[in-house]
Amino acid sequence: DTEVTQTPKHLVMGMTNKKSLKCEQHMGHRAMYWYKQKAKKPPELMFVYSYEKLSINESVPSRFSPECPNSSLLNLHLHALQPEDSALYLCASSRPFVENTGELFFGEGSRLTVL
């Protein structure tokens, strides 16, 4: 069983909807990540939070809005998405960068379909 929990597992939304993806971890990790994965491709980094502060934004469109309310939770707010945003969205966590050798713990993902 994964120790990073993502909800919902599946989401279908229209281009005018507003929805959110949620991620929770209880491993005491202070770095959390959002990745986007298209079919048959590797994950692409979107955002990184370190100690609840946004440290990396990989030039992601503003229709994706991340939020880290506390050290255990990570949200991704979605608004006015396009059909090409349909993908598997993966959350991950890790020890802080200075201690981390690159081992990330991934959730099972939220599969998003934009109609």
Partner 1 sequence: GDSVTQMEGPVTLSEEAFLTINCTYTATGYPSLFWYVQYPGEGLQLLLKATKADDKGSNKGFEATYRKETTSFHLEKGSVQVSDSAVYFCALTSGSRLTFGEGTQLTVNP
Instruction: Using CB under 8 A, list all residues that contact partner 1.
Output: 2, 4, 6, 40-43, 45, 48, 50, 55-56, 90, 92, 97, 101-109
Tell me the residue type at 83.
P
CB nearer to partner 1: give 30 or 79.
Answer: 30
CB nearer to partner 1: give 40 or 62.
Answer: 40
What's 85's DSSP letter?
Answer: G
Question: What whole-number distance in Å separates Cα of residue 7 and Cα of residue 78?
Answer: 14
Least CB distance from residue 30 to partner 1, whole Å?
13
CB nearer to partner 1: give 50 or 65.
Answer: 50
Least CB distance from residue 16 to partner 1, whole Å?
29
Burial of residue 14 (CB within 10 Å: 0-12, 13-18, 19+) is: exposed
CA 5 to chain centre: 11
